[in-house]
Amino acid sequence: MRVHGSEEWAKIRSEGRAQYLLRYGVLRRGIPTGIAVALLIELLDPSGGMPDALLAPRFLWRLLLAVAVFAASGCLSALVNWRLHERRFDRPG
């Protein structure tokens, strides 16, 4: 969890919670982690056949699922972080 200073938090807060969840939950955590996990699973699969396996429907479904799961968990993590910052700087929300 990244802790923002009061001036930095004021700027981030002015952009809104939805923007924060998108930026920190989905774009900075969910998508990169989902891609990394899907690639790692494919690399460790003994029946692999890299790099052709990256175009297989099985991999594409795995990638979609991993990105969706990690984007959702990233949003939850970012929401908790948002609320902690709101509490830290005495703002309701």
For the chain, what are the domain ranges?
6-88
| pLDDT tens-digit series, residues 13-48 | 999 999 999 999 999 999 999 999 999 988 887 776
Burial of 11 (0-12, 13-18, 19+ CB in 10 A): exposed
Q: Identify the three-state secondary structure at position 51.
A: coil
What's the pTM value of the predicted model, to 2 decimals? 0.79
71 closest CA partner among 40, 18, 13, 32: 32
Q: What is the DSSP letter of 50?
A: T
| pLDDT tens-digit series, residues 78-91 | 999 999 988 888 75
The C-alpha angle 27, 4, 30, rounded to 5 degrees, equals: 15
